[in-house]
Every structure is written in C-alpha cells, then in structure tokens.
C-alpha cells in the first residue's frame, strides 16, 4: 500500500468528476464568455456573501490578486509569522506589488485580534511605512489546521475598521473550518474585504481557487490576472470540477478531520510530546520532533520506505494531511507505519 499524506493537494479527480468536466459548456474566459466558470464564480461569491468572484489557477495567485486590491506599493500588510502569504508564496507580495509585510507570532497560528491591532501603524506619514491591511489565514496551514475563532475575527474587524484598515481572508481551507464548526460561510465572509478560497485541496478539484470581493475589485483583479499571465481561455473544463466538488465533496470533509484525529491519537500513544490530539481540529497533523533523536527528514524517509509519504517542513517539524483519497484502511496503515517509526526512534535514544 502507498499512502500520500504530504498534502491535500495530491488528490486526483474521480471518474465522476472527470465525466462532469468532459461535458462542461465552455467559452473564452478572457472575453468573459465561459458559462461554466462564470456560474462557478457567481456561486462561490454568493456562498460568502460577496458581490463577485474571479477564478485563478492557484491559491497563491488568488491571495496576491486580493492583497493587491487592498495595499498600494510601499504600503504594509500585516500577517501572522508563519502564514502562507508570508512563508510560502516566495515573496510575491514584494515582487509583484511592492508590498512590504510585517508579522506577529501566534502559537499554532491562533488569531488574537489584539496581536495584529497592536502592531498596526496606519497613516504613518511621509517617513514611515503605513499599514493598510491585515491578512488572516483560516484554517492555518503551518499551525496544524488551526481554526480561527469567530469572535476574534469579529474583534479584528471592529478594530480594523476603526483604524481604517482593510482585511483579507486567506481561506484556502475555509471549507474545513466551516464543516468543523458549523459556522456559515457568509458569517466568515462578512468580516473581510477580500477572500481567497481553494478548490484543489480538501474539495479534490485538480485546479483552481476563487478570489472574492466587490465587483470593482474583481474587475481590477481580472486585469492583473491577465497581466500576470493567468488569463485563461476555455476553463469551464476545470471550473466544472469546482462545481462537482461543492456538490459532492464538501460534505465529505468531516471524514478527513476524523482520520487526522485518529492519526494524532495513534502517534500520541507512542510519542506524546510530538502532538496534542486536542489541537487537531481539521485535516492537518503537525508533529513537533524537537524532543526526539530524529529529524523530520529522517522520519519522512523511514515512513517512505514503508509506503507512507509525509512532509518535512523544517528540521524538526513534520506534517501529515488527510484528504479525499485516504480511506480508513489507508489511515490505519499510515498510523501503524508512523507509530512503528517513532517507536524505533525512541528506542534508539
């Protein structure tokens, strides 16, 4: 058996999804004439209570288009220290848009509105950089799938508006937060000026994210998408996968959460210092190996040798992500492999 837990991006479209894709009505999206992508953009915008949406090939591009609408060159975006926008988009905010970033640290990426608001410096005059927007990631990838508390987002929204700041939601895995909490997508959406949501992670589509905002912002972002080389033509073929994912796969996310919790509990039985299962809220398990005589790369190799793929995202940090293509048999197999690998590492102390 081979079990791939490196990311929920490794999912493959099912035969049923491929069939829907093959039958999708299409047109030229650069001309705004693809009916399938138009309907997907409208559908997702409606889900979050936004005026309009824009299909992008990646979550990184959706994020970058969104923050460009909020922050001018030479101005400042605030984000948590280990947020995707700061750590995993290769400095795109600076390279593409001349945006500077400043960060606040948070345990597991958990939002406290005061942390962001305390470092915000809007209207700083001609000699200092001015803060103009704050980004929040929900769920927080490198925090281990942390769900951001709604009350903290409400507090952040209130404080940001009082300071004249805009808010962006990196909602790549907002679907997981929605399923885990039961909080309506509109209740997340109404506190942010721009939102990015991903279709190719837990929802299982092969490609695609949607940037959401006002019609004015989306119209501007469409021009920037073309400028960045991401104006696409008959993309209804892949937008149809997004429709299928929302129709069929959204309701399955709770299984990913259950399986991630199982893996965390299984690992905690052997190496309790590496993971607190109570902190596994969605589909990501982050392992802190700092107390073990093994690196993340070594653990990843040991697991790979036995047929389980995981990510080594730091010298002592490994990540497992459950997804649509992991069933209970794969979950149990991976749990046994990882438990045995960690047990061997502990026995070698």
- The fold adopted by the segment(s) 13-250 is 3.40.640
Q: Are 14 and 343 in contact (CB under 8 A)?
A: no
Q: Are 133 and 120 in contact (CB under 8 A)?
A: no
CA 188 → CA 50, 116, 238, 248, 320, distances in Å? 11, 18, 26, 22, 26
Q: What is the Cα–Cα distance from 74 to 100, expressed in whole angstroms? A: 6
pLDDT in tens, 15-42: 999 999 999 999 999 999 999 999 999 9
pLDDT in tens, 203-221: 999 999 999 999 999 999 9
Q: Is 201 exposed, middle or buried (0-12, 13-18, 19+ CB in 10 A)?
A: buried
pLDDT in tens, 139-188: 999 999 999 999 999 999 999 999 999 999 999 999 999 999 999 999 99
Q: Domain ranges in the chain?
A: 3-7+252-347, 13-250
For residue 348, pLDDT beyond 90: no
Collect contacts of 254-258 with beta carbons under 8 A, ≥24 apart: 254/179, 254/180, 256/8, 256/176, 256/202, 256/282, 256/283, 256/322, 256/323, 256/324, 256/326, 257/176, 257/179, 257/180, 257/281, 257/282, 257/283, 257/322
Look at 77 and 343; give whichever has higher pLDDT.
77
- Sheet-wide strand order for 317-321: 284-288, 317-321, 311-314
Of 318, 91, 51, 345, give the one whose Cα is nearest residue 211. Answer: 51
Name the one residue in this structure whose structure tokens are 């960060």.
103
Q: How much is the pLDDT for 295?
A: 95
Q: What is the Cα–Cα distance from 173 to 191, expressed in whole angstroms? A: 17
Total H helices, total E strands in the chain: 14, 12
Rg of the chain over all Cα atoms, to the nearest angstrom: 20
**Residue 8 has which token pair?**
């929920």
pLDDT in tens, 254-309: 999 999 999 999 999 999 999 999 999 999 999 999 999 999 999 999 999 999 99
Q: What is the Cα–Cα distance from 138 to 150, expressed in whole angstroms? A: 10
Q: Are 100 and 72 in contact (CB under 8 A)?
A: no
Q: Are 318 and 287 in contact (CB under 8 A)?
A: yes
Q: What is the Cα–Cα distance from 128 to 125, expressed in whole angstroms? A: 6
Q: Which helix (H) or strand (E) holds 47?
A: helix 35-48
Q: How much is the pLDDT for 248?
A: 97
**Residue 250 has which token pair?**
């959204």
Q: What is the Cα–Cα distance from 164 to 158, expressed in whole angstroms? A: 10
For residue 344, pLDDT beyond 90: no
For residue 349, pLDDT beyond 70: no
pTM of the predicted structure, to 2 decimals:
0.96
- The fold adopted by the segment(s) 3-7+252-347 is 3.90.1150
For residue 122, pLDDT beyond 90: yes
CA 126 → CA 75, 94, 201, 302, distances in Å? 11, 20, 42, 55
pLDDT category of residue 346 using cuts at 50, 70 and 90? confident
């Amino acid at each position: 058996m081979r079990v791939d837990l490196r990311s929920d991006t490794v999912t493959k479209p099912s035969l049923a999804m491929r069939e829907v894709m093959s039958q999708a009505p299409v047109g030229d999206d650069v001309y705004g004439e693809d009916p399938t992508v138009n309907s997907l953009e409208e559908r997702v915008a409606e889900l979050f209570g936004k005026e309009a949406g824009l299909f992008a090939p990646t979550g990184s591009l959706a994020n970058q288009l969104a923050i460009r609408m909020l922050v001018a060159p030479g101005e400042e975006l605030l984000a948590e220290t280990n947020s995707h926008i700061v750590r995993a988009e290769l400095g795109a905010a600076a390279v593409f848009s001349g945006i500077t970033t400043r960060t606040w640290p948070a345990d597991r990426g958990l939002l406290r509105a005061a942390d962001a608001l305390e470092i915000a410096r809007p209207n700083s005059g001609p000699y200092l950089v001015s803060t103009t927007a704050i980004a929040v990631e929900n769920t927080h990838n490198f925090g281990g799938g942390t769900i951001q508390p709604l009350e903290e987002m409400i507090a952040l929204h209130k404080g940001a508006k009082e300071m004249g700041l805009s808010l962006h939601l990196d909602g790549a895995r907002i679907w997981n937060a929605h399923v885990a909490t039961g909080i309506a997508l509109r209740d997340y959406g109404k506190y942010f000026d721009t939102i990015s949501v991903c279709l190719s992670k837990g929802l299982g589509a092969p490609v695609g994210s949607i940037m959401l905002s006002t019609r004015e912002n989306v119209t501007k972002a469409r021009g920037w998408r073309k400028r960045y080389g991401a104006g696409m033509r008959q993309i209804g073929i892949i937008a149809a996968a997004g429709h299928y994912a929302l129709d069929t796969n959204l309701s399955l996310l709770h299984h990913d959460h259950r399986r991630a919790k199982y893996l965390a509990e299984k690992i905690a039985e052997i190496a309790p210092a590496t993971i607190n299962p109570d902190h596994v809220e969605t589909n990501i398990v982050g392992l802190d190996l700092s107390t073990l005589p093994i690196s993340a790369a070594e653990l990843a190799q040991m697991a790979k040798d036995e047929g389980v793929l995981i990510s080594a995202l730091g010298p002592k940090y490994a990540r497992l992500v459950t997804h649509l293509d992991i069933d209970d048999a794969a979950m149990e197999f991976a749990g046994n492999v990882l438990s045995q690998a960690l047990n061997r590492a502990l026995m070698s102390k």
